[in-house]
Structure 1
């Protein structure tokens, strides 16, 4: 039942927003009582925190696998990180939309904790850019923090428009992004 509450809540939060979805809305969809909800979650905000934490932990686990892969050069790691973010839109798109749109509803303590997790993603990307600069794969005049934020911004915004069942696959979009990132758009 906990998983059903979780999944139903994500769908309702995506459709109507966190503020416009009540616990009563959630339990009505499931045909259960509020007591059932409160058996698994202390509050709607705790449920939202769980959604955010699950999303970030999944990304961090995937990121750590990529960063630890010694068979990949830094260019390949950037590609894999971009692909990871786009692939998660297909597998976790609803969670991503809830994550980005509803983060503002977390209490201060939870928000700071989630921002810390989000910063780990940024730091991982920044470290790959720095390593690529140091190893001569990327230009030395780049600002690694700004490049990392630019890459993450492009990828994270993709949840608004990317359709995994559309004309381009997540791998194709990742290749386009990487080509644009590594080679720019100049002729």
Structure 2
């Protein structure tokens, strides 16, 4: 996603403001992307990799929303992409709260 730079950033920011004809051209791609995530998450849920009390639709919205905005808040001057991805992976999979060890 970061590869497409300016187009991706503009598409994310102004999609709601573009003419219907332009939206229609992109809607198919956006739906295919959402379907990909839905299938991935449903498969993970079915195999027991996700908690059974989670909504895969909510996870998809959260993940895609976060991924969309990486074009805005990832800055290579703050560290490598590897460090960035490790931090994000840690937040998503391990959470942000400390766990009581008692």
TM-score normalised to structure 1 length: 0.47
Alignment of 1:22-171 (within 5 A): 88-89=1-2, 91-104=3-16, 106-163=18-75, 165-171=76-82
- Counterpart in 2 of 1:183? 94
Q: How far off is 1:124 after superposition?
A: 1.2
1:172 to 64, 83, 88: 83
Q: Which has the larger radius of gyration?
A: 1
Aligned residues: 98
> Where in structure 2 are there 5+ consecutive unaligned residues?
none
Displaced runs of 4 or more, over 6 A: none
TM superposition score normalised by structure 2: 0.79
SS in 2 for 1:166: helix
Match of 1:82 in 2: none
